[in-house]
Structure formats: C-alpha cells, structure tokens
Amino acid sequence: MSSQNIQQSQHNFEQAQKLLPGGVNSPVRAFKGVGGTPRFFDHAKGAYVTDVDGNTYIDYVGSWGPMILGHAHDAVIQGIQETAEKGVSFGAPCELEIDLAQMVIDMVPSIDVIRFVSSGSEATMSALRLARGFTGRDKFIKFDGGYHGHADGFLVKAGSGAATFGEPDSAGVPADYAKLTLTAPFNDIEAVKDLFRQNKDEISCIIVEPVPGNTGVMDLYNNGFLQFLRDICTQEGALLIFDEVMSGFRVSSGGAQKRFAITPDLTCLGKIIGGGLPVGAYGGREEIMRKISPDGPVYQAGTLSGNPLAMRAGIETLSRLQEEDFYVALESKSKRLFEGLLAGCKAAGVPATGNRFGSMFTIFFTELDQVTCGSDVSGHCDLAFFGKFFNEMLNEGVYLAPSQYEAAFVSAAHTDKDIDNTIAAAERVLARLTA
C-alpha cells in the first residue's frame, strides 16, 4: 500500500523541533519508539481523528484514555461552552467542584474526601507527600516499569536486584533522593516482603497501578498480588495508593478497586474525570485527607485546581458512564477487537500475546505465552516489528499508541464497523509484513 500524504505534518514537525524539545510537549509523541513522522491533528469526532493533511484515522489512543465517550461528545462540548461563557477560571471556589466531588465520592468506594489538581502527575506527587506526612516515614515502594508521573521520586527503576535501592532513571534526579524509592518487579510477592523486612518501619506506602498500563497492560489477575499488597500494608502500618489515573472509570464505574473489591487508602485519578481537559485528583479515607492544608500540615496548592471547565466536562462525562449497561457494551466491543487482533496474528504466523482488562488492552509481539512485568516487554518483545506494524496501521487509517509500552483504549463511539475495519486492516498489514 502506498504511503499517505503527510507533507504538512512533516513541515510542522520540522518547525516544532526548532521550538520544542524533540518537537513535542510529551516524549512519546515524538515517535522515537516507532520511527516516522508524528501526525499533527487538526480535529476529532467520535472514534476518529483527522490530521492536518486531511488523513482520518480510527483512534485507539483517545488522548491516552480520557475519551471514553469518544472525541468531542456533544454533551461535553455543550457543557464546556456554557461554562466558558461564565468565565474560564476564578482562582476561587465554584459550585461545580462540589458537584463533581460528590459524584466521584459516590462512585469510588474508597474515597471519603477528595482534592482536585490539574494533572495525574500532580495527583500522584501529592498523594505520596500525604502518605509520608500521615505516616511520618520517608521511603516508599513502586514497581519496575510503573509510571506515576514525572515527580523526582517516581523516576526510578530497579537496581541489580529486586530488593535494592533505586537508581535515578532521569538526569536531574538527585541520587540521595532516589534512595528513598524502593523498587520491586511487578507481581513479585517475595520481593515486596524482602523490602519490608529490610526497611522495617521506614516505608510510608506502596503505589501501584491496579491495572498496569504504562508498560503495556500487564497480567496480574492470577496470584492475588493486589490483595497481598493490601494485606502487607495493613500489617506494616503503610498506606496503599492505587494509581487509577488510567484505570479509574475506564474499567468500571468505580475503577479497578470496585472490580477487585480491594480498598486502597488513597486513590489517584485523572484523565476521564476531566472529560479530556487537564485534571487530576487524589482522595481517600477522611482521617488521611484531613492532613492536607488548610485542615492539616501537608501543603499542596494549585492556581487552576478545580478549574470550572474541567469540572463541568467531568460531570458531563461521569454522568453518562452511569447509564445502564454502559460498561457491558464497552467490554464486549473491546473483547471482540482484542481477540480479533490476536487471531489475525496467529493466522499470519506472527508470535504474539496480549493482555486486556475492560476497554484497555495491549498486543505484544513476543514468543512468550504471557507478559507479566516490564522486563518481559523490554527483554522479550520484538520492538522493531511493533514499529513496522504501527506505521503500516497508520497507512491503513488506524491510529495506535506509538509505543509497545502503552495501552490501546476503546471508546463508546467505536462501532462494530470500526472494529471490523481495524481487524481487517491488521490482517492486511500482517500479511505484508510476513510476505
């Protein structure tokens, strides 16, 4: 198949590289992991995005998860417009904050009190500070490949052993500060036990994505790992933080914690709760949340926190997620797409496996039967083949995440025809790549 005309995107990227680091404002957008030219988008509607050259794609990125209703949903856009006419920011309280707070608290089992911020990174950073302030302990545990935003403490990967201090994974992160971050392989119960034994009464919390999506969607549903984390935190006097920035309202109306029936002490949210506008939040047990200023000594503030446009977009989005059978329908179409893509790989003789939870999934090009941790991706997946597959799917009019380490997202706007067309496109691509 001939390549698309992407002349304007190429021109824009050349200009952007002179003005922005890597030509982008978030690294994965630069296509470093897949090669080629990033598409510059002009507009989007429903399940489709259209670039500046007029090419239209079936979109499975969905602004990295928020667009669960699809792009430019009529009710969300109308709500934003009505609110914008009254003013776009006050730097002061507005009633919409109360309305969205009550809605989230009613939907998420573990949240008694909530604080809105402006991004998922801000939510996780603030929740970590709160955990330290509540427990009086400085260290915390995260898992290899787990991305919880770009705060210094989170940009740490594992050392040579599962139970070692982390080393900075980014320039600019002080080594001494990184030593407060303890890392373990995801799904490794014994490694977590070792960390608690070696750091008795020093660990403030564990932070984890209950549905990991930042190394691709991981399989964690067979060994009781999340329940173990809940139990050991209770036993050791540490807090359990669920980072549901990605999975919150994506996998159920109450997030992954509702589906697993596991109650964290703190929950971080973002993406869907703002309907696509910049937003984040963290919430949890009242006795913990009351430690936040001005009620308590843990300081956190933000000029645009509780922004009225984001609050209204979130209200319009969450209200529609409570419609009867919304998640049943979303799960069904996600399952059909996921299974169709894997079947296409099998028919083409391409080694592949995958993980799916709700409307999040990742197809991994690997000989492994299962992908359960970040090292499975980095050490055993064919990243070069993924890059070829990604670019060929672009030429077929399908926009996937430009990295093997990311999740795909299905929205309510995707139709059966969209799914059929995506599966057919993948079959054509796989046939070309194996010819």
Q: What is the pLDDT of residues 279-291, one digit of tens each?
A: 999 999 999 999 9
Contact 135, 238 (CB under 8 A): yes
Which tokens go with 270? Answer: 């973002």
Residue 308's pLDDT is what?
97
Average pLDDT of the residues in 238-244: 97
pLDDT tier for residue 163 given thresholds of 50, 70 and 90: very low
Residue 168's pLDDT is what?
61
- Domain encompassing residue 168: 74-321
> By CB neighbour count within 10 A (0-12 exposed, 13-18 middle, 19+ buried), where does 164 fall?
middle
Same domain assignment for residues 386 and 411 = yes
Say how many domains are in the chain. 2
Residue 166's pLDDT is what?
43
Lowest pLDDT segment from 78-92, 170-184, 198-212? 170-184
Same domain assignment for residues 265 and 223 = yes
For the entire predicted model, the pTM comes to 0.93
Residue 167 has pLDDT above 70, yes or no: no
Q: Is residue 355 assigned to a domain?
A: yes
Same domain assignment for residues 82 and 31 = no
Q: Is 231 a catalytic residue?
A: no
Same domain assignment for residues 270 and 189 = yes
Q: Cα separation of 330 and 430, whole Å?
A: 26
Lowest pLDDT segment from 62-66, 173-177, 359-363, 418-422? 173-177
Same domain assignment for residues 301 and 334 = no
Q: Which residue has the higher pLDDT, 61 or 170?
A: 61
Strands 280-284 and 360-364: unpaired
Q: Is 147 a catalytic residue?
A: yes
Residue 221 has pLDDT above 60, yes or no: no
Same domain assignment for residues 352 and 261 = no
75: left (phi over 0), alpha (psi -120 to 50) or beta: alpha
Domain CATH for 309: 3.40.640.10
Same domain assignment for residues 359 and 407 = yes
Q: Cα separation of 160 and 114, whole Å?
A: 38
Q: Is 243 a catalytic residue?
A: yes
Among the listed residues 48, 60, 147, 405, the single catalytic one is 147
Lowest pLDDT segment from 91-95, 102-106, 176-180, 421-425? 176-180
Lowest pLDDT segment from 124-128, 144-148, 230-234? 144-148
Contact 205, 135 (CB under 8 A): yes
Query: Taking the CB of residue 231, how many other CB atoms lie within 10 A of it?
Result: 13
Lowest pLDDT segment from 13-27, 167-181, 350-364, 411-425? 167-181
Among the listed residues 51, 59, 219, 243, the single catalytic one is 243
Average pLDDT for the chain: 93
Q: Is residue 12 assigned to a domain?
A: yes
Residue 212's pLDDT is what?
86
Task: Compute the half-sphere exposure of residue 252: CA atoms within 13 Å on the CB side of its CA.
Answer: 14
Average pLDDT of the residues in 295-307: 96
Contact 71, 418 (CB under 8 A): no
Among the listed residues 139, 142, 258, 271, the single catalytic one is 271
Q: Cα separation of 276 and 36, whole Å?
A: 26
